[in-house]
Amino acid sequence: MAEVKLEHIEKIYPNSEPTKKRKKKGDAPERKSNLKITDQGVVAVEDFNLDVADREFVVLVGPSGCGKSTTLRMVAGLESITNGTLTIGGEVMNDVAPKDRDIAMVFQNYALYPHMTVRDNLAFPLKLRKVPQAEIDQKVDEAAEILGITEYLDRRPKALSGGQRQRVAIGRAIVREPKVLLMDEPLSNLDAKLRNQMRAEIIKLRKRINTTFMYVTHDQTEAMTLGDRIVIMKDGVVQQIGTPQDVYDHPHNIFVSGFIGVPQMNYFDARLTKEGDDYKVELDGVTVDLDGEKERVLRERNVEPQDIILGCRPEHISLDKVEGQMITGLIDVSEMMGSEVHLHLDVDGKDVIVIVPSADVNRKHGAGSLDVGQHLDFTFTGDVLHLFSKVTEENLVY
Amino acid sequence: MPERIKTLASKHRGLVVVSVIMAIVCVIWVLPVAAVILNAFKWNTFVKTDTFALWNAENFAGWSNFITGVTFGNYNFWLAAWYSTFITIVSTFLILLFCSMAAWYITRVDSIWCKIIYYLCIFSMVVPFQMVMFTLSSTADQLKLNTPWTIPIVYLGFGAGLAIFMFVGFVKSIPVEIEEAASIDGCGPVRTFFFVVLPMLRSTLISVGILEIMWVWNDYLLPVLVLDINQYRTIPIHIQYLKGSYGTVDLGATMALILMAIIPVIVFYLACQKYIIAGVAAGAVKG
C-alpha cells in the first residue's frame, strides 16, 4: 500500500557488446536493436517517468526488449538505476536492498524453491522476518485459501502443474502483504485456457488485497483487461501512458495504435486537405469529412495540409453503402473466429482487415458475397479515423 | 522377414560378445579386491603360495591377521585410523563448503577475474601431482601445514579444481530468478547461499563428497610427503610400515588392514551411489 514514483529513470548497460565492437573496429555505432547507444553504453530505459498511485494497477506493456522488465527489476532492486529517482511510499529507494523495499515479485518461471514444500515456500519470507509461528501458519492458510492451493500445501513444487505453481508463486508474494506487488509476465508460461482463467483470478485477487500492482506483459489483452493504466514502451522509451480506453481511442503514435487492438489497425496513405476552416482527408479518390472535435484540434494546432498515414481499426470499418465514399478491395483471406469473421482485403497491394459479425455474413450480405475472391466495398466515417504524421508518425490530433 | 530375423540374431550375437567382454573386465576389476578378502583370512605363509586359493582348514587364519595388523609395531593403528578419519572428514567438509561457495560466486558474478579463477581451477586438474609434490612439501613445511590438523588446507587446494568444475556445471542450471526471489523475500547473499542455493546443490554435494572422501581416505603420497611420518601416520602409511625387523612383510596382516581400510569407503559408496548418478546428470543436462 504505497505509491511508487519513477522520476527520469534511466538504465544504461555499460561496456556492452555493441560498444566494445565499435571501439575495436572504430566504425559507426552498430544497431542490433533500436536501443539508443551512447558513450556510456546501451540505453535500455530512457527518461522513464511514472507516478503509480496507492492501490493502482499499472501494466507495462511492449514488445520484447523494450525495457519493461528492466524497469520492473529496477523497482524491485534487482537492477541498479543509472540515473533518476525511485521512491516507494515517499522514501527514495535507489540504493536500498531488495529485501528492505517491502515489495514482492512474481516471476515468469515461478522461481519457487524446489527443495521446500508449498507450505515452506509460502512461509519462507515470513520466517526470514521472524514472524511468530502461529501468525505464519494463519497467513499461509489464508493465502492458500485465497488461491485455492490448500490441498497442495505439503507437496513439493515439482509435483504441481504450471498453473498451481504460479498460484504458489503469487501466494508467496501476497503472504507478507507487501507495499508493492510486482509481476513479471506471470502468465506467459501457461497455456491459453489457463492464462484466461488466471487472468480472471488476478482481477479477483486484486479486489481482495489492498496493494499497489505493477505488472509487466507483452500481451496487450492482459494489459487491457488488468490495468487501471497502461504504460506502452518501445526501445526503452515510454510511448504513452493512459487508461486502456484512452490508449485504444486516442493512440499517440502509430506504434501504440498498432500495438493496442486485435486485429491490428489498418493504415492507408492519404492526404489531409484544408478548405477554409474545414479539414478533410482524401484517399483513393474518396473524401472523408472529419468530426468536429478533430477539426477543432487541427485548427488550434494550425496543422498544414500534408501527406498523412490514416489509421482505422478493423472493427470501425463500415460496409454500409455510401454513394461516392466506397473503397474496393479483393477478399484474400477469410478467417472464421466464431462470433465474427476477419476478412483480409487486398487494396492496391495493401492488406486491410475488416471485421464482420458472423450473424451478418449471410443475412445481411447474401450467401457467397464475402467468399475469398469476391470484391468488397467499404468505407469509414471521420469520427473513427486516426491521423498520423508521415514524418514523425505522431498522432496529429491527440 | 528372414532378413529381419537375421538382423535380430546378429544383434543378439553382438550383445553376447559385449556381455562376455564386460564380464571379463568386471572379473579383472574385482580380482584384486577378492584377493584382499581371501588373503586377509589366510596365514602369512599361504598368501604367497596360494594367493587365489579358497579358504581351507589348513590356510584359514580367522581374525589373527587383523589382531596382528592392529597391534603390530610401535605405532598405534587406531591413532592412524583417527588421523585418516579426521583428515578425510575435515578436508571433504572444507572442499564442499568453500568450493560450492566459490562456484556460486564464479557463476553469478560476471567479471574477468572470475573467469581467470575458473580456468585456473580447470588447469589445476590437468597438472599432475608429481610435478608439484616436492615444492608442495617444502611449502607445506614452511607454512606449518605438515600436521593432520592443517593438512586439510592442502587437500582443499588440490580438491578445488574438480569440485569447482562440478559445482559450476550445476549452479549454471539453477535459474537465477530463484536467487532473486530469495533476495526479495529477505535473504542477503549469505542466507541466499545457505537457505536456497546449498540445499539445491544437494545431489552435487553428495557426488563431489563421495569422490573427495575416496580420494583423501585412500591417498598415500600426499600425507607421506607432507606429514612427519614418525609422528603422524594415516592408514595407507601405516600399512606401508607393516614390516618386521629384517624387512620382512607380514602380507596376511597387510591384507587384513587393507580390508579394514577399504570397507568404510565401499559401504559409504554403496549407500550414496544413487546420488552420484543424480548429481552427475543434474550438472550435465542443463550446463
In 3D, which of A275, A260, A204 has the Cα closest to residue A229?
A: A260
Judged by a CB distance cut-off of 8 A, whether residue A104 touches chain B is yes
Residue of A nearest to B197 (CA): A113
pLDDT at B19: 94
Phi, psi angles (nearest 5°) of residue A3: -90, 150
Q: What is the mean pLDDT of residues A115-119?
A: 92
Answer whether A78 sits within 8 Å of B184, measured CB to CB. Answer: yes
Which ipTM was obtained for this model?
Answer: 0.84
Rounded to a whole number of angstroms, the CA Rg of chain A reads 25
Burial of B71-80, coded b for 16+ CB within 10 Å and e otherwise, reads ebeebebeeb
pLDDT at A29: 45
- Domains, chain B, in order of start with CATH, read 2-65 (no CATH), 76-285 (1.10.3720.10)
Our CA-based measurement puts residue A158 at a distance from the nearest CA of chain B, in whole angstroms, of 13
pLDDT at A23: 44
Which of A76, A114, A115 is closest, CB to CB, to B184?
A: A76
pLDDT at B244: 60
Q: What is the mean pLDDT of residues A372-383?
A: 87
Grid look-up 573467469 returns: B115
| pLDDT tens track for B190-247 | 999 999 999 998 888 988 998 899 899 999 999 999 998 888 999 998 888 876 656 6
Answer whether B178 sits within 8 Å of A112, measured CB to CB. Answer: yes
| pLDDT tens track for A65-75 | 899 999 999 99
Q: Report the greatest alpha carbon distance in chain B.
A: 77
DSSP A385: -
Phi, psi angles (nearest 5°) of residue A289: -80, 145
Q: Is the pLDDT of residue A52 over 70?
A: yes
pLDDT at A248: 93
Our CA-based measurement puts residue B278 at a distance from the nearest CA of chain A, in whole angstroms, of 15
Contact criterion met (CB below 8 Å) for A148 and A183: no
Residues 6+ positions from A187 with CB-CB distance below 8 Å: A166, A195, A198, A199, A217, A219, A222
Q: Is the pLDDT of residue B181 over 60?
A: yes
Residue type present at position A17: E
Question: What is the share, in percent, of chain A residues with pLDDT greater than 70?
Answer: 95
| pLDDT tens track for A216-250 | 999 988 999 999 999 999 999 999 999 999 999 99
Terminal-residue alpha carbon distance, chain A: 33
Contact criterion met (CB below 8 Å) for A354 and A345: yes
| pLDDT tens track for B77-122 | 889 999 999 999 999 999 999 999 999 999 999 899 999 999 999 9
Q: Of residues B76 and A140, which shows the higher confidence score? A: A140
For the ranges A8-22, A341-355, B120-134, the lowest mean pLDDT is seen at A8-22
In 3D, which of A111, A147, A23, A225 has the Cα closest to residue B185?
A: A111
Q: Is the pLDDT of residue A111 over 60?
A: yes
Q: What is the mean pLDDT of residues A192-203?
A: 89
Q: Is the pLDDT of residue B277 over 70?
A: no
Distance between alpha carbon B69 and the CA centroid of its chain, in Å? Answer: 24
Helices A133-147 and A192-208 pack at an angle, to 10 degrees, of 130
Q: How confident is the model at residue B1 (pLDDT cuts 50, 70, 90)?
A: low
Q: Is the pLDDT of residue A380 over 90?
A: no
Which of B184, B185, B200 is closest, CB to CB, to A115?
A: B200
Residue of A nearest to B182 (CA): A125
Answer whether B181 sits within 8 Å of A111, measured CB to CB. Answer: yes
Average pLDDT of chain B is: 86
Judged by a CB distance cut-off of 8 A, whether residue A226 touches chain B is no
Answer whether B178 sits within 8 Å of A76, measured CB to CB. Answer: no
pLDDT at B50: 79
Which of B175, B187, B188 is closest, CB to CB, to A111?
A: B175
Question: What is the share, in percent, of chain A residues with pLDDT greater than 90?
Answer: 56
Grid look-up 527518461 returns: A47
Judged by a CB distance cut-off of 8 A, whether residue A76 touches chain B is yes
- Domains, chain A, in order of start with CATH, read 4-258 (3.40.50.300), 276-389 (2.40.50.100)
Residue of B nearest to A114 (CA): B200
In 3D, which of A165, A184, A182 has the Cα closest to residue A173?
A: A182
Q: What is the mean pLDDT of residues B250-262?
A: 87
Residues of A in contact with B191 (CB under 8 A): 128
In 3D, which of A107, A108, A104, A151 has the Cα closest to residue A124?
A: A104
Q: Is the pLDDT of residue A193 over 80?
A: yes
